[in-house]
Amino acid sequence: MDRRTFVKASCIGSASLLMQGLNPMMRADSLPSLPPIELHGLPDYPASPLGMPGLFRGRVIEIREPKAIVGNRVTQSIVSRMLDQAMTELTGEKSVRDAWAKFIDPKDIIGIKINPSGAPACCSSPEIIREIIDAVRSVGVPPRNIVVYDRYSYEMDIGSYQALLPIGVRIVGIQDAFTIGMDGYEPNVYCDANFFGEWETRSYMARIVAHEVTKIINVPTMKDHSASGVTGALKNLAYGTFNNVARTHQPPHSFTNPLIGLMCTVEPLRSRSVLHIMDGMRLVWHGGPLTQIQDFIEQPGILMVATDPVAMDTVELEAIDKKRREHGAPSVWEHEPSSITSDGNLFYHDAAKNLFYRQPGHIAAAGKLGLGIFDPKQIDHRLISA
């Protein structure tokens, strides 16, 4: 059976969302209209109970320790303790190893999806990745079965992950940022939509996700995103797994809502993504995802863990919007035409300006697709101290 899904405004999938009282496909800027979106997953792939929203739907553990990052440097021994504490709190297990074993089997091939976009100013901290690798190995997974990956090898190089991670672990950039081609992508697993009249209407899933790894640990960062509102667990998975995604936003409009959530439903991405560990050592409240301007980057020393990416991103969204309020910047929900600029330099230096109408509604849309809880009142958000 071809697990083919067809989504458009008049189809049942979208209608069911409307019936639940929220139309995540509705966009405040209202233009242009949403085109049909076809989703082609891996045929006959069995859904896993570990897949999103996973074992702990609606639960988000947030742990803060300002001393974890001082002068832009992360202290590995502190993040090690934070991760242990968060994992036992998430799972209810007394032993750290048992906590990890709820998600990982020694026979698994573990993919660690990092976010090097924005390196070196804000990217997944190598110190946290090293701790995750240690934890995975403690369950019995050998280093050769651990793959740290992202779409762009060039961005991984800037983060120096290749030199900083343990011997034996594979470090894979799916493609180069400056060349194009299908190498590294599965031609039969894709999302197809024509958003702005582009010639290539398909976004293909990375082969490493479709065929190599058996579990994915997702390590997003906490960042504002000029097109999607924030980039968190959902966007790191979706736009870091499928290629040809920049075409979904053309100033000032963005189809990141609903595409981010839709991509996360495609198998096997959905079933294999079992754990999300958000690196909030740094928090970008404007200029994301690529800014290098330290004026918009704070260092709160946050670590969050969850199996539910929607709940996690809902917490992240509020944290970033709160930070924007503190700085007098408009909300990521604002869709004021006078805020839009086509001047990239102005955007990077003025928090009141943006290149797109941001689409933070992509998180609620993902919730409506069954990927998790987006109602803050229903989220079991546990804030613990290190």
How is 296-322 classified by DSSP, letter by letter? GEE---EEEEES-HHHHHHHHHHHHHH
| Angle in degrees, CA 70, 152, 87, rounded to 5 | 50
Which CB, 103 or 348, lies closer to other proteins? Answer: 348
Q: Using CA atoms, how far apart are residues 117 and 126, in angstroms rounded to an integer?
A: 13
The least CB distance from residue 294 to other proteins, in Å, is 8
Q: Calculate the alpha carbon distances from 164 to 125, 168, 184 in Å.
A: 10, 12, 24
Which CB, 32 or 120, lies closer to other proteins? Answer: 120
H/E run at residue 150:
strand 146-152
Query: What letters, b where the CB count within 10 A reaches 16 and e where it falls short, cover 355-367?
Result: bbbbbbbbbbbbb
The least CB distance from residue 163 to other proteins, in Å, is 4
Instruction: List interacting residues with other proteins (CB under 8 A).
Output: 72-73, 119-121, 126, 153-154, 157-158, 160, 162-168, 176-179, 292
The least CB distance from residue 147 to other proteins, in Å, is 14
The least CB distance from residue 156 to other proteins, in Å, is 11
The least CB distance from residue 72 to other proteins, in Å, is 7
Which CB, 72 or 138, lies closer to other proteins? Answer: 72
| 277: nearest Cα among 150, 158, 72, 100 | 100
Which CB, 349 or 381, lies closer to other proteins? Answer: 349
Which CB, 142 or 168, lies closer to other proteins? Answer: 168
Q: Using CA atoms, how far apart are residues 383 and 368, in angstroms rounded to an integer?
A: 25
